[in-house]
Structure 1
Amino acid sequence: MDPKISEKAWNPKLEKQILKNWEEEKIYDFTPQDDNFTIDTPPPYPSGRPWHIGAAAHYSQIDMIARTARMAGKNVYFPIGIDRNGLPVELYTEKKHKIRMRETDRGEFLDLCKEALDDLEAEMILIMKSLGISGNFAQYYRTDSQEYRSLTQATFIELWKKGQVYLANRPNNYDWVSGTTIADAEITYEDLPTKLVYMKFKIKDADKEIIIASTRPELLCACKTIIVNPEDERYTEHIGKKVIVPITNNEVELRTHHSAQQEFGSGAVMVCSYGDQNDVALFRELEMEEVVAIGLDGRMTEVAGEYAGLKPKQARAKIIEDLEAKGFVEKIEDIVHRTPVSERSKNPIEIIPMEEYYLKQKDSIDKMRKLGEEITFYPSMHKQILMNWLESISIDWPISRRRYYGTEIPIWYCKECSEPHVPEPGKYYRPWAEKAPMEKCTKCGCSEFVGEERTFDTWMDSSVSPLFVTKYNKDEEFFNKVYPATIRPQAKDIVRTWLYYTLLRCEQLTGKKPWSEAWIMGYGLDEKGMKMSKSKGNAIDPLPVIERLGADTFRFWSASEINHGYDFRCNEQKIESTKKFLSKLWNVSRFLSSFPVIESGSPNPTDKWILSELNNLVKECKKGYDEYNFFVPAIAIREFTWNLFAAHYIEMVKARAYGIGYSDEERDGAIFTLHKTLSTILKLLAPITPFITEHLWKTLYSKESIHKQKQVTQEETEDLSSITKEITEFNSKVWNEKKAQNLSLKDPISIEVPSSLEPYKKDLKSMHNLAD
């Protein structure tokens, strides 16, 4: 019989037609039921060239979560969104158009940002669809849409009315290049070269000096005290005395504090406003009056005297020169210093006092810790990232930003008394461009208002994603059915931001945790083990790879290469090599397509053996799928299909399937088992490689999509895996002996089948052409 599958190889170009069929058949449409599987899908951010190959691998595995859940009989809600707020698009727009945001009309700048995002978004959607992601593209959302931003504003207004928001002037992390406050969670640390300067401070009315080592000598003008450890006996006799600050000649007191480390530098530390977070804490504790040494323009202020107007780095170099010239330097060391930088812009941050809006979070830490314990993390080790972050929170969350492309803070201030007023929720407000929606000030009765110009931290938008997709405050029936979501899939680097802020905000608004499970993926690394990023230039564009090799090849590489939760290296050669498995699967399917599909048969011992091993495969795959660890089923399916089913079983039953020397009943037992095994492999593999499995399934087994099928479950059968090693070793022994005798695999050979393999003797004899 001619095979139903005539093509000799899988053609990835078929994927486009399959995608079209899925879209026309609407096989992923969602209608809410009483029990739903809701995915709080991460909306990717299109900044610069969208997506590198590691991100594409991440999203292909999120799709595997959705497909796994559907085949487990769950009603899957898989929304798709695009994150379009924040700093990256502003920086991209400035670079693309060679402009500066603050020197451009705000409305014009916003239009340019939107235009840039539209172009980049189109390519991102194309990549997602090409990967076979089975989400709701027909209704995908944008975080800069009026509908989304109005929800962000509405949730802010709700929390404002609950007293969860306040305005305060406090030291803040400040990215002076982008001109905005950033939260602690948006800071990373880089080891940067700098100079550690050992400076001489004279003790007043004494012929003695103390040495103070600092990497920030430009902040001498902001020095308010010198501290030493209480147990540091070197300074005991000078405690309480005045010390003269070099260059400025200001007098400050020498006092003790436990935070001073005896082993660092000279053990004496100058406390300035503000060199680091330790300075911030000390200024609060000691109730010292701050000196603003660095301004919003990122330059030294007038309190720096002759150094005013210089950038801190320039002032540092100049003041070191002057210190040396005036004999105030004992020595200078070149060191590598752990420096806080903005996660987005990569600029070193400064700490300066600024008036910002804060969302209360300190009072919620214990509650967040309790909710975090209730969430199942996959893998469990990444729960610790959240717990460590909760331990480090010391201030409330500064949520206002001095940028343009973001959701505006919906506040108008009375022009007369500055009383803040928030509008009623429900629409999208732009206070910098719109007339106040209120008529009179509730405090003084004035009818004139000034609109707020600041925007929200972008995480204020992102943190309501599970509320937006479940139609919070929009469709109560829909919301009650699909919220809380089931799972939050995301990368590990934003656990302390996106995951934490979502947990905080959703609990504040709904009293519930936003999801019961969190799926955390590692970083995509380049061939040298460096984290992939567009800014480093080591990112691989996924679209050409997908177009050349096919989405299934890419997806199978993603599953078989990445042990869930761990970082992984991306290599085009490795991706291409996974194509060999799809070729093997195709060849097996093509061979089996020569035989009719029969509904039942009487399996002989050989058939029962492979069905037993198939049962074990089902068990192993279920274990991996239950934990959303696709590495487990990918490796197990490849090993079984290639090295057991194809290499041993098919060869053992080939003659029987053709009916050569066997009865019809024996023949049908083989054919039944062949198709049962292949159809099971296809269903097990479908969440990972949806295209080739769909094509083979529809060609061989059903007109209905494989993705509409229920996943196979383990059967109650005798476990015959104990005989597997003996069968495979015997086959290898025969093959090696034929090779040694320079015989072809079809040539007869005289080798006796061991008595322990007696039940399989007839199939082994026909397989190897063994002489009696």
Structure 2
Amino acid sequence: MDPKITEKAWEPKLEDAILKKWDDEKLHDFKLQDENYTIDTPPPYPSGRPWHIGAASHYAQIDMIARTARMNGKNVYFPIGIDRNGLPVELYTEKKHGIRMRETERGEFLNLCKNALDDLEAEMIQIMKSLGLSGDFKNYYRTDSEEYRKFTQETFIDLWKKGVIYLATRPNNYDWVSGTTIADAEIVYDDLPTKLVYMKFIVKDEEKEIIIASTRPELLCACKTVIVNPDDERYSNLIGKNLVVPLTNKEVEITPHHSAKIEFGSGAVMVCSYGDQNDVALFRELQLEEVIAIGLDGRMTEAAGNYQGLKPKQARTKIIEDLENANLVEKIEEISHRTPLSERSKIPIEIVPMEEYYLKQKDSIEKMKKLGSEIEFYPNMHKQILMNWLESISIDWPISRRRFYGTEIPIWYCNECSEPFVPEPGKYYRPWKDSCPAQKCEKCGNTEFTGEDRTFDTWMDSSVSPLFVTKFNRDDEFFKKTYPTGIRPQAKDIVRTWLYYTLLRCEKLTGQKPWSEAWVMGYGLDEKGMKMSKSKGNAIDPLPVIQKSGADTFRFWSASEINQGYDFRCSEQKIESTKKFLSKLWNVSRFLSSFPIIESGKLTDSDKWILSELDKLISVCNEGYSKYNFFIPATALREFTWNIFAAQYIEMAKARAYGIGFDDDERDGAIFTLHKVLSTILKLLAPITPFITEHLWQTLYSKNSIHKEQLPKIENIEDMTNMTQVIVEFNSKVWNEKKQNNLSLKDSIKIDIPENLNQFKKDLIAMHNLEIS
């Protein structure tokens, strides 16, 4: 009988036709039901080339979550969004058009930003679709749309009315390259080479000097005290005395404080505004008068005297030179210093007093810990990233930014008394250009207002994604049936930002946690184990790889290469080699397609054995799927299909399936079992490789989509898996002896079958053409 599958190999070009068929049939369209499973899908950021191969594998696995949930009987809501706000868009626009934001009219710059990412977004959507993502592309959202920005403003207005947002002037992390405040969560640390300068401070009215070591001598002009540990006997007689600061000749008092480390440097520490967050805390605690030494342009201010106008690094070099010329340096050490950098611009941040809006978070830390403990993390180890971050929070979240392309803060200020006016929700406000909705100031009656020109931190937008997709405050029925969402899938590097801020914001707005589960993926690394990035030039563009090898090859590589939550290496060669498994699956299916579908048959012990192995496979796969760990089913399915089903059982059952030397009942038992195993393999593989399984399923078993099927359940077949090793060893022995005697696999050979394999004797004789004595 000719095989139903006529093509000799699986061709990735078949995937396009399957995609079109799914779209035409609206296979994955979401229809609201009483119970729904919502995925809080991360909206990717199209800045520069949109994605590297590691990010694409991340989204392929998010689709595996969706497909697994559907095949477990859940009604899946899988929204898709694109994140388009903030600094990366602005930087890309500046580079693309050869302009600078602050030298361009704001409206013109915003229009350029709005369209700058369209081509990159289109490519990103193409990659997602090519990968077979079963999300809601027809209704995909953009975080820079008026609808989304209006929603962000509405949540701000809600929190403003609740009294959890306030305006204050405080020392803030400042990225002078992008010209804006950044939150602690947007800081990364790197060990950079720097100089530890041991400077001579003179004790006033005494011919005595003490040595103070610092990596920031450019802040001498902002020094307001020197602290020593009260247990440091070297300075016990100097506490309360004044020191003369080198070069500036200003006097500061020696103050006892336990934060001074006896073992670091000289044990004496100058406290400046602001070298680091420890300085900030000390200035607040000791009520010191701050000196603004570094301005918003990233240069030394007039407070620095002769060094005004220099960048901090330039001032540092010049001040060290001047200190040495004045014989005020004891020594200089070259050290590696843990330096806070802006995550975006990668330059050292400065701490500058600025007026910003803050969202209260310090008083919610214990509540966030409790909610965090209730969320199931996959893998559980990444929950610690959240808990560690919660332990480190020391200030409220500064949510205002001095940039253009973002959601505007909806506030106007009275020109007379500066009273803020916050409008009612219901429209998208642009205070920098729109007139104030208020007719007059409620406080003083003035009728003239000035609009706020700052925007929100982009995490203010992203952190309401689960509320936006579930139509919070816009469709009560939809919201009630889709929120809290089921799962938050994301990368581990944004646990302390996107995951935490979402948890914080959603709890403050709804009183509930936004999801019950969080799935956290590791980094995609290059072949040498380095993190892939566009700036390093080691990022692999996924689209050519998908077009060459096919989405299923890519997806199966992703599942079988990546152990949940761990970093993984990306290699085009490894991806291409994964195609061998799909070829094996295709060849097995093509062979079996020549046999008719049989509903039942007389099962031999050979059939019962492979069905018990199939039960074991189902159990392993479902365990992996239940934890969203696709590495487990992918590796188990490859091992079973290749080394157990194809290499052992099919060879054992082949003669019986052809009816050679067997009766009809025995033949039908083999054919039934062959199709039972293959159809189960296809269903177990469907969430990982949706294209090839769909094609094979509809060619062999049903005109309906395999993605409408349920994942198989174990049938509690009598356990015969203890025979597997015995069967494999005997078959290997026969094949090896034939090889040693220069016989083909079809040639007969005289080998006795062990007694413990007597129940499989008839199949083994036919399989190996054995001569039995």
- 1:124 corresponds in structure 2 to 124
Aligned counterparts of 1:101 and 1:218: Cα–Cα separation in 2? 30
Give the length in aligned residue pairs.
Answer: 772
Aligned counterparts of 1:267 and 1:602: Cα–Cα separation in 2? 86
Aligned counterparts of 2:481 and 2:200: Cα–Cα separation in 1? 69
Aligned counterparts of 1:114 and 1:334: Cα–Cα separation in 2? 46
Q: Deviations over 1:507-543 (max 9, x none)?
A: 0000110000000101111111111111221111000
1:502 partner SS: helix
- 2:552 corresponds in structure 1 to 552
**Bigger Cα displacement from structure 2, 598-607 vs 141-150:** 598-607
Aligned counterparts of 1:105 and 1:765: Cα–Cα separation in 2? 86
Aligned counterparts of 1:216 and 1:143: Cα–Cα separation in 2? 40
Say whether residues 1:254 and 2:254 are aligned partners: yes
- 1:631 corresponds in structure 2 to 631
- 2:10 corresponds in structure 1 to 10
- 2:390 corresponds in structure 1 to 390
Aligned counterparts of 1:111 and 1:603: Cα–Cα separation in 2? 71
Aligned counterparts of 1:591 and 1:249: Cα–Cα separation in 2? 91
Aligned counterparts of 2:249 and 2:14: Cα–Cα separation in 1? 78
Q: How far 1:718 moved relative to its partner?
A: 0.9
Q: How far 1:6 moved relative to its partner?
A: 1.1
Q: Deviations over 1:686-737 (max 9, x none)?
A: 0000000000000000000000111110112211110100000000000011
Matched residue type, 2:137? F
Once the two structures are superposed, the pairs formed by residues 206-605 of structure 1 within 5 Å of their partners are 206-605=206-605
Matched residue type, 1:704? N
Aligned counterparts of 1:330 and 1:703: Cα–Cα separation in 2? 84
Matched residue type, 1:170? R
2:598 partner SS: coil
Say whether residues 1:734 and 2:727 are aligned partners: no
Aligned counterparts of 2:530 and 2:228: Cα–Cα separation in 1? 41
Once the two structures are superposed, the pairs formed by residues 701-720 of structure 1 within 5 Å of their partners are 701-720=701-720
Aligned counterparts of 2:654 and 2:717: Cα–Cα separation in 1? 24
Aligned counterparts of 1:437 and 1:174: Cα–Cα separation in 2? 32
Aligned counterparts of 2:427 and 2:135: Cα–Cα separation in 1? 28
Matched residue type, 1:119? D
Aligned counterparts of 1:107 and 1:307: Cα–Cα separation in 2? 37
Q: How far 1:463 moved relative to its partner?
A: 0.4
Q: How far 1:573 moved relative to its partner?
A: 0.7
2:750 partner SS: coil
Aligned counterparts of 1:90 and 1:193: Cα–Cα separation in 2? 31
Aligned counterparts of 2:486 and 2:693: Cα–Cα separation in 1? 27
- 1:90 corresponds in structure 2 to 90
Matched residue type, 2:648? H
2:205 partner SS: coil
Q: How far 1:426 moved relative to its partner?
A: 1.4
Q: Deviations over 1:28-85 (max 9, x none)?
A: 1111212111000000000000010000000000000000000000000000000011
Q: Deviations over 1:462-493 (max 9, x none)?
A: 00000000001110110011000000000011
Aligned counterparts of 2:164 and 2:240: Cα–Cα separation in 1? 42
Aligned counterparts of 2:601 and 2:432: Cα–Cα separation in 1? 76
Q: Deviations over 1:260-289 (max 9, x none)?
A: 111111111100000000000100110101
1:253 partner SS: strand
Q: Deviations over 1:622-677 (max 9, x none)?
A: 00000000000000000000000000000001111111111011000000000000
- 1:60 corresponds in structure 2 to 60
Q: How far 1:97 moved relative to its partner?
A: 1.7
Matched residue type, 1:228? V
- 1:111 corresponds in structure 2 to 111
Aligned counterparts of 2:609 and 2:194: Cα–Cα separation in 1? 68
- 1:753 corresponds in structure 2 to 753
Aligned counterparts of 2:546 and 2:717: Cα–Cα separation in 1? 41
Q: How far 1:603 moved relative to its partner?
A: 1.2
**Bigger Cα displacement from structure 2, 243-252 vs 597-606:** 597-606
**Bigger Cα displacement from structure 2, 633-642 vs 534-543:** 534-543
1:238 partner SS: coil
Aligned counterparts of 1:414 and 1:532: Cα–Cα separation in 2? 49
Aligned counterparts of 2:99 and 2:196: Cα–Cα separation in 1? 37
- 1:185 corresponds in structure 2 to 185
Aligned counterparts of 2:29 and 2:574: Cα–Cα separation in 1? 35
Q: How far 1:119 moved relative to its partner?
A: 1.3
Aligned counterparts of 2:46 and 2:195: Cα–Cα separation in 1? 38
2:48 partner SS: coil
Q: Deviations over 1:300-319 (max 9, x none)?
A: 00000010111101111111
Q: How far 1:176 moved relative to its partner?
A: 0.3
Matched residue type, 1:273? S
1:357 partner SS: strand
Q: How far 1:576 moved relative to its partner?
A: 0.7
**Bigger Cα displacement from structure 2, 60-69 vs 412-421:** 412-421
1:654 partner SS: helix
- 1:621 corresponds in structure 2 to 621
- 2:673 corresponds in structure 1 to 673
- 1:167 corresponds in structure 2 to 167
Q: Deviations over 1:341-361 (max 9, x none)?
A: 011121210001000000001
Provide the TM-score with structure 2 as the length reference. 0.99
Matched residue type, 2:47? S
Q: How far 1:210 moved relative to its partner?
A: 0.6
Aligned counterparts of 2:346 and 2:325: Cα–Cα separation in 1? 34
Aligned counterparts of 2:345 and 2:110: Cα–Cα separation in 1? 19
Gaps of 5+ in 2: none
Matched residue type, 2:108? E
**Bigger Cα displacement from structure 2, 715-724 vs 168-177:** 715-724
Matched residue type, 2:171? P
Matched residue type, 1:277? Q
Q: Deviations over 1:59-117 (max 9, x none)?
A: 00000000000000000000000001111111111122221110111111111111111
Q: How far 1:327 moved relative to its partner?
A: 0.7
Percent identity over paired residues: 79
- Where in structure 1 do 4 or more consecutive aligned residues deviate above 4 Å? none
Aligned counterparts of 1:252 and 1:158: Cα–Cα separation in 2? 47
Aligned counterparts of 2:378 and 2:34: Cα–Cα separation in 1? 25
Matched residue type, 2:269? V
Aligned counterparts of 1:603 and 1:339: Cα–Cα separation in 2? 70
Q: Deviations over 1:183-227 (max 9, x none)?
A: 001100011111111111111111111111111000000000001
Aligned counterparts of 1:571 and 1:161: Cα–Cα separation in 2? 52
Q: How far 1:415 moved relative to its partner?
A: 1.1
- 2:771 corresponds in structure 1 to 771
1:252 partner SS: strand
Matched residue type, 1:145? S
1:67 partner SS: helix
Aligned counterparts of 1:408 and 1:602: Cα–Cα separation in 2? 72
Q: How far 1:438 moved relative to its partner?
A: 1.3
Q: How far 1:584 moved relative to its partner?
A: 0.3
